[in-house]
Amino acid sequence: MISRLFLILLLLAPVCLRAATDPEARFASANAAYASGDFQVAADTYRALISEGTRDPDVFFNLGNAEFRLDHRGLAALAYERALLLDPTHAESRQNLRFLTRKTGRLVEEPTAFVRFGQRFAENTVVVALSVCAWLFILALAARMFLQPRPGGTRACLYSLAVIGFLGSSVAGTILAAQILHAPPKDRVIVTAEDAKAYTTPALSAKEVISLPPGSVLRVLSSRESWSYVALPGDLRGWVESDAIESLGALDAMKSKNPTNLVGNPPE
């Protein structure tokens, strides 16, 4: 009897192990931990999934929510920004970033109204719309020129299709150009420290340029040892400690900024 039970457990072990390591199951367990108030466990699990290669914007969004609950406002902003980097149409992340901006006063360049309009559409969707409209215009124009349709309704229909294709491709092309030209620079960094400051020179004894609220978006111009020379919104420049910022695009080098609760550690 004991040997038979041991054999059953041995056969079930790979199934249990696979369930324990399945990303969807772990994502569900992290969501359950968040729902029960175990925000540290949830954040650790989301970070572990991301460090293992998960690139789902919903995972980053949930990580941002967990970090915010832990009062890590800079890390929350970083997670939301990365969700938008993966999916510019992720409305929930954009909404939470607006909330964080009002709450913390984080420094960020506000996009123009046209750029905000373009951000409502996924780039792939715009490319497909541009292709369809462009081909509609070309085919309708070619049919009008070479097939010599009968006068009347057919000719008017081809003209209408050509105009629709031209206008559609113009609008889609303009939106795509705005998305490309106003794409976030790869050298953007997010202030993850809660009390960061920019200085005139790379030294804590130097004159302070400005306080940097958590979640502020900066652009690195150069680096020197443990300092980074950054461009700030409002045409300001200053030196900030490199440990106080994290690259927005460095998804493959993500790490916890909380030294007492690294990925995988149980909550305290």
Domain boundaries, the chain: 2-107, 116-181, 188-251
- From residue 204, alpha-carbon distances to 77, 99, 158, 196, 212 in Å are 25, 31, 70, 11, 14
Superfamily name and number for 188-251: SH3 Domains (2.30.30.40)
What are the two backbone dihedrals, phi and then psi, of residue 114, each rounded to the nearest 5 degrees?
-65, -40
CA distance to 59, 102, 164, per residue, from 94 (Å): 15, 13, 32
Domain 2-107 has CATH 1.25.40.10: yes
Q: 236-241 and 245-247: which strand pairing?
A: unpaired
Which residue is it, tokens 């007492």?
260
Tens digit of pLDDT at every position of the chain (268 positions): 545 544 444 444 444 444 446 899 999 999 999 999 999 999 999 999 999 999 999 999 999 999 999 999 999 999 999 998 888 889 899 999 999 999 999 998 766 666 666 666 766 777 788 788 888 778 777 776 776 655 556 777 877 877 887 888 888 777 777 666 555 555 689 999 999 999 999 999 999 999 999 999 999 999 999 999 999 888 899 999 999 999 987 664 444 443 333 333 333 3
